[in-house]
């Protein structure tokens, strides 16, 4: 009985659609493991970000993929460019709700907050960054790679990707039935014995 179950399981796992679903599951799990591992290693919830504006040109370009590391607020070096740390902070403090801002820490206020400024901007940002606003410090960048992340940002693009994955799984799961159906559409009907007799009879007549 056990041998029969094992044989059935082996046959099931050999099927192409099963292999595809398992491979897809492993790929998705690997992405999540990598992401959460990176968050833990760098000590921040946003370890990788894409630069989407030119406010930090020429230090950072649009499309750069930046690596962010968590940092204690008191350890941030606030000084004019190029000496001050480039930090990532929540945009609510400067009126950009829901955005993450990548600007340079240029000075500390008497109340302890940090004033920031984009290297390409004329003036400082409108508000001071507090410890709760700070996400981390930029510790590295990869040119151009950030365009991939920027491409997936709009909600419409995410929905398209999800739809394609669903279609892919559906096709992989029912591929055998789909191919059988397509072949049946092009398969010529085989002549039956009574058809042959009927043709002969008509020819004699």
Set out the domains of the chain in order of their start, with CATH numbers. Answer: 48-150 (2.10.109.10)
Residue 130 has pLDDT above 80, yes or no: yes
Chain centre distance of CA 86: 25
**pLDDT band (50, 70, 90) for residue 183:** confident
Within a 10 A sphere around the Cβ of 188, how many other Cβ atoms? 5
- Say if CB 125 and CB 116 are below 8 A apart: yes
Pairing of β 134-142 and β 114-117: unpaired
In the chain, the percentage of residues whose pLDDT exceeds 90 is 53
The pLDDT value recorded for residue 26 is 77
* Euclidean distance between CA atoms 119 and 155, whole angstroms: 30
pTM of the model as a whole: 0.70
**Left if phi > 0, otherwise alpha if psi is -120 to 50, otherwise beta: which for 12?**
alpha
* Euclidean distance between CA atoms 48 and 177, whole angstroms: 43
Strands of the sheet containing 48-50, edge to edge, are: 48-50, 65-69, 134-142, 86-90, 100-108, 114-117
Among 25-34, 162-171, 184-193, whose mean pLDDT is lowest?
A: 184-193
* Euclidean distance between CA atoms 41 and 139, whole angstroms: 13
Give whichever of 22-31, 92-101, 164-173, 181-190 has the largest mean pLDDT.
92-101
* Euclidean distance between CA atoms 66 and 125, whole angstroms: 21
pLDDT tens across 69-87, in order? 999 999 999 999 999 999 9
The pLDDT value recorded for residue 15 is 60
The pLDDT value recorded for residue 122 is 94
Q: What is the average per-residue pLDDT within 27-55?
A: 90
Kindly report the average pLDDT of the chain as a whole number: 81
């Amino acid at each position: 009985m056990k041998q029969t179950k094992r044989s059935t399981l082996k046959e099931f796992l050999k099927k192409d659609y099963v292999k595809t679903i398992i491979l897809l599951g492993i790929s998705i799990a690997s992405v999540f493991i990598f992401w959460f591992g990176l968050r833990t290693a760098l000590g921040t919830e946003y370890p990788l970000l894409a630069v989407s504006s030119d406010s930090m040109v020429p230090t950072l370009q649009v499309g750069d993929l930046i690596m962010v590391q968590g940092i204690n607020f008191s350890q941030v070096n606030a000084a004019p460019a190029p000496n001050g740390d480039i930090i990532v902070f929540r945009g609510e403090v400067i009126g950009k709700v829901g955005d993450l801002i990548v600007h340079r820490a240029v000075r500390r206020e008497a109340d302890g907050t940090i004033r920031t400024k984009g290297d390409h901007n004329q003036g400082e940002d409108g508000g001071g960054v507090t410890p709760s606003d700070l996400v981390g410090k930029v510790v590295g960048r990869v040119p151009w790679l950030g365009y991939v992340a920027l491409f997936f940002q709009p909600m419409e693009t995410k929905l398209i990707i999800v739809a394609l994955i669903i279609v892919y799984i559906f096709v992989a799961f029912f591929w055998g039935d789909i191919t059988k159906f397509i072949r049946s559409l092009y398969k010529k009907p085989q002549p039956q014995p009574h058809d042959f007799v009927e043709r002969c009879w008509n020819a004699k007549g």
